[in-house]
Amino acid sequence: MDMFGLIPILAAVVILIFAAAVVFLITSRAKSGAAGGIKKRAKNYDAALKEANKRLQANPRDPEGLSILGDLFFQDGAWENAYKTYEALVELLPTTQGLDDFTINLRYGLAAIKVNQTDAAYKGLSAAHMLKANNFEVNFNLGSLEFQRKNYDKAIQLLQQARIQDPEHPGCLRILGHSFFKMKKYKEAMSFIRQAMDLAPDDKESLYTLAECYHEANQIEQALKIFSHLRPDPQMGAQSCLMAGTINMETHQEAKAIEDFEIGLRHQNIGQDVQIEMKYKLATCYLRANEIAKALGHLRDIQSLNPNYRDVAVLIGKYQELNANKNLQIYTMAPSADFVALCRKIVMTYYPRAKVKIVSISVTKNDWADILAEVDTPKWSDLVMFRFIRTQGAIGEMIVREFHNHLKEVKAGKGICVTVGSYTEEARRYTEARLIDLIEKEKFSAILNNVDAKAAAAAAKRR
C-alpha cells in the first residue's frame, strides 16, 4: 500500500488515540482520590496507552499497538472506538501472524452489536463461531442475531449450545422461548419463558408472549388472566386489552369486552393498526348490545383513519338508518319479546277501520314470527296470516313456499309476508297466482314510521 492509501487509516488512528487520551484524562480525574488499587490500575492504563501511542506513531497499522488500544476501549466500554479499532484488526488478520483471531472477531462482533452495526456483528461472531463453537458469548450473541433475522431454527440451535455453558442465563432462556413461539411450538415456548421469568419476573413482553402461548394452546382462562393483568401496562397494555377483549367477545361476554377495549383505547401512543382493530371490535360489541349510536361513533372514527377497512362503510350505511328509526332497531335487533310486541302492533293497525283479533303467535328461532288474526272490515272478514321476517337479505322461494303451506294448514284466506330486506324473482313468481302479499323494505319502512301514531290514534278512539 502506498503513502496515499495510508492517509485515511492514519487519520482514523489519530482520532482513536485522541479519544483514548480524553477517556484516560477523565478516568484519571474521577479516580484521583480513590484507593491505591484503583490508582495502580490508572497507572497501568497510562503505561498501556503510552505504549500503544508509541507503536502507532511509528506504524499506524501496528498490530500490537491496535491490540492494546482495542483492549483499553473494550474494557472501558468505549464501544464506538472499540468497534473501529477491532475493525482495523480484522482487516489485518489475513496478513498478520501472531494475532488472537478468536478474541479479535468476538470483540469486533460484540462492539458492533453495541453500536447497532448488526451486519458487522454477524460477520465477526460467525467467524468467531468457526474458531470456537462451544463459547457461550459467541453462541448467545450469534443466536440473538439469528432471532432478529427471523432464522428461528438457527437461533434455537445456537442458544441450546449456549445453555449448555450457562443453563440459567435469563436472556438465553428468554430468546429460546420466543424463538419456539415464533415457530408455533407453544409447549416448548411456555417451558423456556416460564424459566426465564423465574429469573427475570419484570419482563412484561415475555409475560404477554406466555399469555399468547396459553391462548394458542386453548388454555383460555390462563391466557385471559394474564392479558387482564397486563391491561394497565404502558408498553403491553393496549395489545393486552385487545386480546382480553377478543377472548371475552368469543365467549359472548360483551360487557367485559367493552370494558377491555375502552381501557385499551385510553392508552397513549397506540399503533394505528391496533387502534383500528380495537375500535372495530368495540363497535361490534356495541351493536350486539343494541347501542347503535356508540357503535357508529367508532365506525366513523375508523372510516376517517382507513376508509377501506373491512365492511365499515357498509355497516355505517346500514346502522345509520337503524339509528334514525327506533322501530326498525326493535324489529331487527331487539329481544324476541320486544320484536313480537311490535309485530302485534303492526297487525292491529294494518287494516284501517277494521276489528282485529289475534288468534295465535308463533316464533321460529327468532328468525320470524307468524301471527294469525281474525280481521273484520266493513267490506270483508277473513283469517289473515302475517309472517314477519327479521332477515335483511333476500328472501327466496323456499321460505315463501313454506309460508303458503302454513296458510293452508290454518285455513287462512290471505297471507302477508313482511321483510326489511327484499325478495328474489323466484319468490315473486311463486306468489303471482296465490293470495300472498309480499311487503319489502321501502313499503315496510313507511309502516314502521307510522305504526306508533296509528296505535295511539286507535287507543284514543277506543277511549
Domain 1-132: which CATH number of 2.70.98, 1.20.1070, 3.30.950, 1.25.40:
1.25.40
Ranking 142-146, 173-177, 277-281, 389-393 by mean pLDDT, the lowest is 389-393
For the stretch 117-156, pLDDT in tens is: 999 999 999 999 999 999 999 999 999 999 999 999 999 9
Instruction: Give Cβ neighbours of residue 393 (< 8 Å, ≥ 6 apart).
Output: 421, 422
For the stretch 196-253, pLDDT in tens is: 999 999 999 999 999 999 999 999 999 999 999 999 999 999 999 999 999 999 999 9
2: pLDDT strictly greater than 50: no
305: pLDDT strictly greater than 60: yes
Q: Please give the pLDDT value at position 333.
A: 87
Residue with cell string 483471531:
101
Fold type of domain 334-462: Trna Endonuclease; Chain: A, domain 1 (3.40.1350)
Distances (CA, A) of 246 to 91, 261, 276, 345: 55, 9, 14, 39
Instruction: Give Cβ neighbours of residue 353 (< 8 Å, ≥ 6 apart).
Output: 377, 378
DSSP string over 300-325:
HHHHHH-TTSTTHHHHHHHHHHHHH-
> How does the average pLDDT of the chain come out, rounded?
90
Count CB atoms within 10 A of the CB of residue 401. 15
- What ranges do the domains of the chain cover? 1-132, 334-462
Q: Please give the pLDDT value at position 366.
A: 81
pTM assigned to the model: 0.75
